[in-house]
Amino acid sequence: MKKHLILSGVIILMLSSACLDLEMFAPDPDIQAAVKAGDPELCKKIPADEKDRLDRCYQEVGVKIENPEVCKRILDQSRKDYCYTGIAEKTGDETLCANIKEDSNNAAHCYSQMAVKKKDEKICDNLKDEGYRGSCIIDVAVELKAPAKCMKIGEGFYRQRCLNRAAAATGQQELCAEVDDMGERNACYYTIAANSKDKSLCEEIKITGEPGFDEYNDAVEAKDGCYKSIGEATNDAEACKKISNTYQKSWCLEQVAAATTNEKICEEITSTQYEDMTLTRNRCYERVAIGKQDKSLCEKITDPGYRESCLKYIDENPTTTTTQASGGGGLWFFDDFMQFI
């Protein structure tokens, strides 16, 4: 009864939120009429005390007719900034970005959009703040897949970040070696390895720093994540075995076993810091059994209750596919979730 009451409450809350969302984003007839006519004067039909609606009307009309003068009528600064940015994006006129407060997030966004659109990093020079300018050039370098543009950023973090992201965008792994910052270099190799599904590149991720500190933890996480990403994407159990974190390793092996319906991989699973080996292996056997529709594999499950659930599930769902089984057959995750309710 308790479970039913809580689930009912959750459903009611979800439905209420959905209704609020629908109401919030429902078409506004006054705004629609003004936009369709392309006439900002029609926005005046909206009561003056409804400032948000009025601002939204001027913004949408201003962008529609590409008239920055309409943006000046907007009271809310952020919405006014979006108005100028919207027109700049449509017209390709980066001078409109100058109407936005200098060196603010919105100004940086506007100039970055224009720099990428025009494929011209010189537009980024309008941003005086080193961080905003660096981020702007990074966007251009990544969009154009042109790492050389990173050299227009002064020495420091943003150049390193630029080389990392541009190298990842081009797939040029040799560029990662040019990144001095070890965290950015590791991220560079991680991204290229994941995109190319080349697990040999995971070895290029170096573990530095002292155990227990951020530098060390981040490096270990990056290397493990690299192997996990490739292992699951390519169903490569050998990649999973290289993961140092026992929980991530077991999860990776379980995913591969379920995807390939290979119960022998389940035998590679060991205990983790969160789960006993028996529990993890049982779940793995269950998923493979359901994927293969092989009740004999259910017999490998040591827990009597879950063994029975496995057998029952196969009897009741004779057409379950391997893909469906990779979700755990709907048994383990749902049961574990319900235990917390």
Q: What gap in Å lies between CA 339 and CA 341, rounded to an integer? A: 6
- Give burial (CB, 10 Å; 0-12/13-18/19+) of 103: middle
- Compute the half-sphere exposure of residue 250: CA atoms within 13 Å on the CB side of its CA: 21
The two three-digit tokens of residue 212, written as one number: 């227990």
Between helix 157-170 and helix 182-196 the angle, nearest 10°, is 10
Asked whether 245 and 236 are in contact (CB, 8 A), the reply is no
- For 72, phi and psi rounded to 5 degrees? -65, -20
Asked whether 231 and 240 are in contact (CB, 8 A), the reply is yes
Asked whether 301 and 288 are in contact (CB, 8 A), the reply is no
Reported pTM: 0.70
> CB under 8 Å, gap of 24 or more: what pairs does 126-129 form?
126/94, 126/97, 126/98, 127/103, 128/102, 128/103, 129/103
Whether pLDDT at 143 is above 70 = yes
pLDDT at position 3: 40
Q: What is the per-residue pLDDT across 193-214, written as a single tens digit (0 to 9) for each?
A: 999 999 999 999 999 989 989 9
Whether pLDDT at 232 is above 90 = yes
Q: What gap in Å lies between CA 66 and CA 4, rounded to an integer? A: 54
pLDDT at position 272: 65
The two three-digit tokens of residue 189, written as one number: 């190799």
One-letter amino acid of 293: Q
In which residue are the tokens 């035998």 written? 267
**Domain boundaries along the sequence of the chain:** 30-129, 245-341
Q: What is the per-residue pLDDT across 289-332, written as a single tens digit (0 to 9) for each?
A: 999 999 999 999 999 998 999 999 999 988 765 545 544 444 44
**Residue 172 CB partners (closer than 8 Å, separation 6+):** 147
- Give burial (CB, 10 Å; 0-12/13-18/19+) of 178: middle
In which residue are the tokens 């056997």 written? 285
Give 103's pLDDT tier (boundaries 50, 70, 90). confident
33-43 mean pLDDT: 96
